[in-house]
Amino acid sequence: MDANCLKRYTDSGVIILCPSSIYIDEGIKIGSGTTLQPFSVLTGNTTIGCNCIIGSFSFLKNATIMDGAEIRSSRITDSNVGQNTTIGPNAHLRENSSVGDNCRVGNFVELKNSSLGEGSKASHLAYLGDATVGKNCNIGCGVIFVNYDGRVKHRTIVGDNSFIGSNCNLIAPLNIEGDCYIACGTTVTKNVSKDDFVIGRMRETVKPNTAKKYLRGEI
Active site residues: 124
Euclidean distance between CA atoms 57 and 36, whole angstroms: 10
Using CB atoms within 10 Å of the CB of residue 99, give its burial: 0 to 12 exposed, 13 to 18 middle, 19+ buried.
Answer: buried
The amino acid at 126: A
79-81 sheet: strands from edge to edge: 29-30, 47-48, 64-65, 79-81, 97-99, 115-116, 131-133, 156-158, 174-176
Euclidean distance between CA atoms 179 and 91, whole angstroms: 27
Euclidean distance between CA atoms 42 and 20, whole angstroms: 14
